[in-house]
Amino acid sequence: MRARGSGAVGFVAVLVAVAALVSGCFPTGPSSTSSAVPPGPSSTVFPTSGIAPLVAAVPERTLKALPQARLDAGLLPPTNRWFSGLVFGTPSMPVFPLPLGFQLSTGGFSFGLPTVSTQPAVITGGFAPIIGADFGADSQVVTAYDTASVTIEQRDGSTRLGHTVIAEGSPFVSFTAAKTMTVTLGQPFTKPAGTGAWTTEIGGVTYGLVSAGALAEGGGSLRLTHGQSATWFVVATGGSVADFVTAGRHPVTGTTLTWASGGSKASTAISYATVGDAPTIVAAMPHQTAALAPGTSCAAGTYPSIYGELSACAVTTLGWTTPAIDPRGSLDLSKLAASQKARLAAQVTADVVSTRDEPADTYYGGKWLYRLVNLLEIATQVGADDAAAAITTKLVAAIDDWTDPKGCSTRDSRCFVYDATAKGIVGLQPSFGSDEFNDHHFHYGYFFYAAGVLAADNPELAARWAPVINLLAADLATTAKSSYFPVQRVFDAYAGHSWASGTSIFGDGNNQESSSEAVSAWNGLALWAAASAQPALETEARWMLSAEAASSKAYWTDFPLDASVYRGFDHTVTSLVWGGKRDYATFFSADPSAKLGIVVLPMSPVADYLGGDPARIAANLADSVPNGYDVVFGDFLLMYRALEGPDAAASALEATSVLNEDRIDDGNSRSYLLAWIMVHL
């Protein structure tokens, strides 16, 4: 979301020691009957014991209190989650555990299968309160959450009535009673004789209910005794009611995650624990169905969604792969002609001289560091030694300031504090809502990149900066239960991408705009992990990098235009993706160039992942810059054009000669713009 618009050495030693003792980042869930589960990481990343002294070393401060939360004592605030809107604010907002939309209501909940509608500039699948259940609750509190599921307890005063479980990918909503009670149903169900299951058809969709409880005559209420469950479900198109009834008898109780990154593939597997350890039915998203684990059966029907058709799969573990993306911290200029290198040497010298004063906030401050470190890599490769020396001095001094643990004790900017209430690291000079945990990965990715590149061959710098850079990393990449940070704050393993809004008090769920900055963040994190000798963190970062890149193309820049969900959509990118809609829009500009630019910037050295389909790149550009590149983000779109092929790159290089200086982003430079295009000629 953008609302625009010696301590280090000790920590590394502790981390390595703890890593040798702990097993996995998450416990392995039930084995799939149809697919192999990839191994999880070999060690916990940022365990409490290792991170505690680093947190203690920085000042503690809350810059902005989070909204009221429906959260049990002892749980860390779940910012940046697909279900954050369920937890924060009044009233509770709808959330979208595909294929469903779900919302807490007075006394209970309601849910439904969203109706997908495609319009010229938006694809909607908003909340549909079709099925309701009222337990007589006067409060509802999240008592547990994990990689894909949420448990919500219904209470009447201090009396526990029961708890509800929802999960991403699950077409089931289950409730387990903690006392004998009557559940009022929003819609009557009818009971097929002798099956213990009830159904109703609304709008051509079959909804079902499975329970050992007693349905009242007329189907308007359900009597449950202590420990009995009720499971509601939506039957997939082409699916069998009997299959869903069978799965519904074994409600989902939680999920676990494993991942692997190595070779040509990155693997993700989400295991769904159920009562009786029986298989369940899970809806696979388009980016998953393209490369599901061998043997996965998805014959249980399909669901419509704003992302495209979802396939209903009978599994205990949903596993899939994405192409592995290798992190990169510089462009390879070795094959450039002498004249090209000379041009870059002159330009980098000019760009160093024109460098503006360092910004004070974490977003623009991070971009300032990113711009300089890319200039340094160019200067080093083209022999601009004086420029390289000047940049190095400036960069080291700036990162030293940012990574001074006590910096915020003596100044009000370019430093970080720990928010003990919200459980995270925040820059003292916030921007774009970073104090309410918006966009942390966008901001901190630039710090990871700059520190990772600069410290790659300098262990002393890595050790000096590690106490604070590792806190930024822990804010986003902690992998197991911690006293200080939530698990993988922004990253959604099921969706394969991050969520940017901290509290997500929106009717369409959480959102992410700059998918490319998310990819860049994990690239930077992998570079930092390598520079600071943290192999478990590097494995995790490589996995997130690969997954985010795949989902970025699947839902932001390269989705299949011939899929039925895009009929009637007049554009080739969706620049703002929500849980309940996909927009051709941004938070900060109505310009078409901004809508493509925000999902390709900052065109870091890893941005070749955006290539591979010249025709699609041409189509995206035709939609975004029909009248030339003197537009918002014109520099990044010229760089993106270079991925179309050598001829397009040559044309883009020629166009740079007339590109006004004010069209070069503050995180970019003319030197890097030229160098990027030159290596793609």
Show me where the domains of the chain are located: 84-253, 338-679
pLDDT confidence of 1, banded at 50, 70, 90? low
Instruction: List, for residues 71-108, the tens digit of each pLDDT value.
Output: 999 999 999 999 999 999 889 999 999 999 999 999 99
Give me the pLDDT at residue 2, please.
52
Output the average pLDDT for the chain. Answer: 93
Per-residue pLDDT band at 14 (split at 50, 70, 90): very low
- Which residues is 103 bridged to in the sheet? 110
**Diameter of the chain by CA atoms?**
86
199 with 180: CB under 8 angstroms?
no
Residue ranges of E strands in 64-217: 101-105, 108-112, 117-119, 122-124, 131-134, 139-145, 149-156, 159-167, 172-177, 181-185, 197-202, 205-211, 214-215
Alpha carbons 227 and 268: distance in angstroms, whole number: 34
Dihedral sign of CA atoms 411, 413, 417, 422 in order: positive
75 alpha carbon, distance to own chain's centre: 21
Question: DSSP letters of 332-395?
Answer: --TTS-HHHHHHHHHHHHHHHHTPPPPPSSHHHHHHHHHHHHHHHHHHHHHT-HHHHHHHHHHH
Instruction: Tell me which amino acid residue 323 is.
Output: P
The answer to whether residue 28 scores a pLDDT higher than 70 is no
The pLDDT score that the predictor gives to residue 575 is 98
> What letter represents residue 551's amino acid?
S
User: Is pLDDT above 80 for 25?
Assistant: no
pLDDT by residue (tens digit) across 417-439?
Answer: 999 999 999 999 999 999 999 99
Q: What is the pLDDT confidence band of residue 194, given thresholds at 50, 70 and 90?
A: low
Per-residue pLDDT of 388-409, as tens digits, reads 999 999 999 999 999 999 999 9
* Three-state secondary-structure class, residue 461: helix
CA gap 99, 101 in Å, rounded: 7
- Reference 113, options 6, 231, 237, 197; nearest CA is 237
Contacts of 279 (CB under 8 A, 6+ apart): 33, 247, 250, 314, 315, 316
**In 103-131, which positions are buried (b, 16+ CB within 10 angstroms) versus exposed (e)?**
bbbebbbbbbbbebebeeebbbbbbbebb
Q: What is the mean pLDDT of residues 41-57?
A: 88
Residue 357's Cβ-count burial label (10 Å; 0-12, 13-18, 19+) is: exposed
Question: In which order are the strands placed within the sheet that holds 172-177?
Answer: 139-145, 149-156, 159-167, 172-177, 229-234, 205-211, 197-202
User: What is the share, in percent, of the chain residues with pLDDT greater than 90?
Assistant: 91
Q: In the prediction, which pLDDT does 12 show?
A: 32
512-515-520-526 Cα dihedral, nearest 10 degrees: 70
Instruction: List 269's β-bridge partners, or say none.
Output: 258, 319
Q: Which of 122, 77, 72 is nearest to 582 (CA)?
A: 122
Per-residue pLDDT of 619-664, as tens digits, reads 999 999 999 999 999 999 999 999 999 999 999 999 999 999 999 9
Reading the block at residue 314, the tokens are 């009978």
Question: How large is the average pLDDT for residues 25-43?
Answer: 36
For the cut 50, the answer to whether the pLDDT of residue 4 exceeds it is no
Measured distance CA(185)–CA(482) in Å, rounded: 39
The answer to whether the CB of 573 falls within 8 A of the CB of 597 is no
Residue 661: how many other CB atoms lie within 10 Å: 8
Top-level class of domain 84-253: mainly beta
| Residue 544 pLDDT exceeds 70 | yes
Query: Which amino acid type is present at position 472?
Result: L
pLDDT at residue 37 tops 50: no
Nearest C-alpha neighbor of 319 from the set 341, 340, 290: 290
Candidate from 120-134, 194-208, 271-285, 376-390 with smallest mean pLDDT? 194-208
- Determine what percent of the chain is predicted with pLDDT higher than 70: 93
What kind and span of H or E run contains 323? Answer: strand 317-323
Give pLDDT tens digits for 158-183.
999 999 999 999 999 999 999 999 99
For domain 338-679, the CATH architecture is Alpha/alpha barrel (1.50)
Map residue 184 onto helix, strand or coil: strand
- Supply the pLDDT for residue 290: 87
Q: Could you say which DSSP state residue 513 is in?
A: S
pLDDT at 193: 58
Query: Could you give the 3-state DSSP secondary structure of residue 657?
Result: coil
Identify the band that residue 192 occupies on the pLDDT scale cut at 50, 70 and 90: confident
